[in-house]
A and B are shown apart, each in its own frame.
Chain A
Amino acid sequence: MHGFANAKLGLWLGLGLMVAQSLAGSATAADQVPVKPALPPGYGEVQVVVLGVTAPFFTFGLVKRFEQIPGVEHTSFNLKRGTADVIVKPGATVTDDDLRHAVRNASYSIGSIHWIAHPSAKAAEN
């Protein structure tokens, strides 16, 4: 029973360290001025306004749903603006319907879809 108690204590100490590490890492990131890297040549970018997302925990399923779409390279989410920034690989064909479907599968509602840059087929050949 003593060993069990020690094991549980160790588990929760470990969890505490994970939280502390995560908080420390986040604070460092928050202190930095966010600089959006330039989109590599040929890549596409689309901004999707998603309704109903309220916390980082709920972005997980949404981001996974976007990244399930063939050709999607990366997705990030801004909670305050409710916008998903979806980066599309060169040459990929991602439609608005794909994006709508991903949002609904994540159990949220679509606001709007705005293509900032469409992926280029030519760059994919390079």
Chain B
Amino acid sequence: MRLIFREIRALPTLFAGALAVLLALSLVAPARAQITFPSAAPISAGNVIVRTQPTVTEYSGGLQSFYDENIVLYGASPDLAFILENKSIVTNSGNIVSNGKATAFTATGFGDTVLDTRYNLYETDGVGSTFRIAPYIGIDMPTGMDNVNAEVPRTLQPASGEWGTREALTSSWQTLFWNAQALIGYQNYAGSDGFQTGSSLLADAAFHYLIWPSDLDREVPSEVFASLETNYSLSAVDRMNGMAISGTGGQLWTVDPGILYSAPTWGAAFTALLPVLQQYRGPGASRYDYGFEVTFRYSFFTYHHW
């Protein structure tokens, strides 16, 4: 599923933080790049696509985040798909400065899980082209570890501990030589233990251009695409016991060039995540420097579907 949609959300989810702890530790939750939403691209009934997507992001102040997100897409019917996303491992590392003394920290553990449902609302197909619109609805489930290292603020724990919902409308226009996609979405969190991640509005777009092969008048075994994506998010400030946490919320806009190899049963991609605009609400934010994401996916078939 090379056309899996990319979304970057600004952020607060795992990295916003408890105000008192943040003040004491002089470390504020960083903006976070995350690519999750699949596009409106077709998926056959009974088709299962498994993706693993390790992502590394660097922030100002030496903070580094790594996570490996595993995604399983299942075509339940020609129009209905379920998407299960789980961060199998999340590692946040850096230095905590407390009373003028820097202490290295690492917080590693399981991340949260999201279950999405996608329905193919509109479809118009031609020879070598298709335009589709599909709404999404999903649930964020707090399945991960939100307290693996007691020395680390909750915002830097591997998981958020919050339930949440997300809704999105995606569209994709695919041809033999290029694909264009767009998404607008909204994420909301229920809060946990007095902490609440700010809700986010998401707007993404992507363009993929075929660079190999040039001859499609045969049985094509694989393709290589150049990709350029852009991800924007506008987020409300995070809160602890109702009080706004400085340096959270705001907006993040990234541009993400990449390259994608795609064969019928497997594919791989490399994408750089480059920030263009970062504005956070209040001082103290760890600024997003850059990120890299690699993706490997495998597709197989079951004959079980609705």
A residues engaging B (CB < 8 A)? 8, 12, 15, 18-19, 22-23, 25-26, 29-30, 34, 49, 51-65, 68, 76-82, 104-109, 111
On whether the beta carbons of B220 and A22 are closer than 8 Å, the reply is: no
| Shortest Cβ distance from B42 into A: residue | A107
Contact B294 A12 (CB under 8 A): yes
- Inter-chain contact A60/B262, CB cutoff 8 Å: no
Complex CA distance for A44 and B125, rounded to whole angstroms: 28
Q: Would A78 and B222 count as touching, CB distance under 8 A?
A: no
B118 to chain A, nearest CB (A): 11
> What is the count of residue pairs linking A and B with beta-carbon distances less than 8 angstroms?
133
Say if the beta carbon of B284 comes within 8 Å of chain A: no
Contact of B44 among A18, A29, A61 (CB under 8 A): A61
Q: How far is the CA of A22 from the CA of B264 in the complex (A)?
A: 12
Show 27 A/B contacts (Cβ-Cβ < 8 Å), sorted by A.
A30-B213, A52-B125, A52-B126, A52-B130, A54-B130, A54-B176, A55-B174, A55-B262, A58-B41, A60-B47, A61-B43, A61-B45, A61-B75, A62-B44, A64-B44, A64-B47, A68-B303, A78-B218, A78-B219, A79-B220, A80-B216, A105-B78, A106-B42, A107-B78, A107-B120, A108-B42, A108-B125
> How distant is B167 from chain A, measured CB to nearest CB, in Å?
22
| Chain A residues within 8 Å of B290, by CB | none
The CA of A107 and the CA of B125, in the complex, are separated in Å by 10
8 Å CB interface, B260-306 against A: 261-268, 294, 296, 299, 301, 303, 305
B2 CB-CB contact with A under 8 Å? yes
> Is the beta-carbon distance between B126 and A51 smaller than 8 angstroms?
yes
The size class of the interface chain B forms with chain A is 35 or more
Q: How far is the CB of B116 from chain A (nearest CB, A)?
A: 17
Taken together as a complex, chains A and B put the C-alpha atoms of A52 and B222 apart, in Å, by 18
Q: Report A-chain residues with C-beta under 8 Å of the C-beta of B41.
A: 58
User: Which of B42, B126, B174, B213 is packed against the most chain A CB atoms within 10 Å?
Assistant: B42
**Interchain CB contact under 8 A, A49 and B218:** no
How many angstroms between the C-alpha atoms of A49 and B127 in the bound complex? 8
**Given known A60-B47, A65-B44, A79-B128, contact A22–B222 (CB-CB < 8 A):** yes
